[in-house]
Chain A
Amino acid sequence: NAGVTQTPKFQVLKTGQSMTLQCAQDMNHNSMYWYRQDPGMGLRLIYYSASEGTTDKGEVPNGYNVSRLNKREFSLRLESAAPSQTSVYFCASMTTSGGAYEQYFGPGTRLTVT
């Protein structure tokens, strides 16, 4: 049981390049999330998927797109990277059945855009 996995762990992009961050969970969770974490700020929600086949914008969706490929996988795409997207990106999953909901995070992807 690997929990939540993310690839890659590190990435350097030039302004204007595109890339996709991959996330997978093996806990059969319904909901999945993409956050970014910047110094001095709390984690901010980019996009989330409450269930397979649905996605919704979070607090800071501009410049990003997502795909919920199946129940396990949720990818985040930067179509044209900008220096303002330099950040640490975390994927998380959460069950939404019964009780208070436990959220599990991946190890993060450290992205630098030059």
Chain B
Amino acid sequence: KNQVEQSPQSLIILEGKNCTLQCNYTVSPFSNLRWYKQDTGRGPVSLTIMTFSENTKSNGRYTATLDADTKQSSLHITASQLSDSASYICVVSATGTASKLTFGTGTRLQVTL
């Protein structure tokens, strides 16, 4: 069964600090991995999409890494801001199933003063 597991479940950091969120998956055969940001009360918004051949991808202060061999991904947030407080969801799709994505349960990040 395709699964996506994220850790930690929740995280509290001080504004200005960095943090790293983890994602492990068992989806096969792998097609691509996405990270979404979901603010409270809103729909998820895409941060990055990574295919098999991509190891690192950045979007401003967000940097995603992918190790397809170990089936792990991380999302690193640099110099956190209060507006980074949200849930971060890892989503993986398998080849040939573009219409069906496997979602992780998310990491709830709170950035405080």
- Our verdict on whether A and B bind, yes or no, reads yes
**Interface residues in chain A, defined as those with a beta carbon under 8 Å from any beta carbon in chain B:** 4, 31, 33, 40-45, 48, 50, 56, 58, 90, 92, 94, 96, 100-108
**Interface residues in chain B, defined as those with a beta carbon under 8 Å from any beta carbon in chain A:** 4, 31-32, 34, 41-46, 49-51, 89, 93, 98-106
> Contact between B49 and A42 (Cβ–Cβ < 8 Å)?
no
Q: Contacting B43 at CB < 8 Å: which of A41, A50, A106?
A: A106
Q: Which residues of A contact B89 (CB under 8 A)?
A: 42-43
Interface of chain B: mostly helix, strand, loop or mixed: strand
Interface centre among B32, B51, B101 (most CB of A within 10 A): B101
Count of A-B contacts with CB under 8 A? 55
> Contact between A31 and B105 (Cβ–Cβ < 8 Å)?
no
24 CB < 8 A contacts A-B: A31-B99, A33-B99, A41-B105, A42-B89, A42-B102, A42-B103, A43-B103, A44-B103, A45-B100, A45-B101, A48-B99, A48-B100, A90-B43, A90-B44, A92-B43, A94-B99, A100-B49, A100-B50, A101-B32, A102-B46, A103-B101, A105-B44, A107-B43, A108-B42
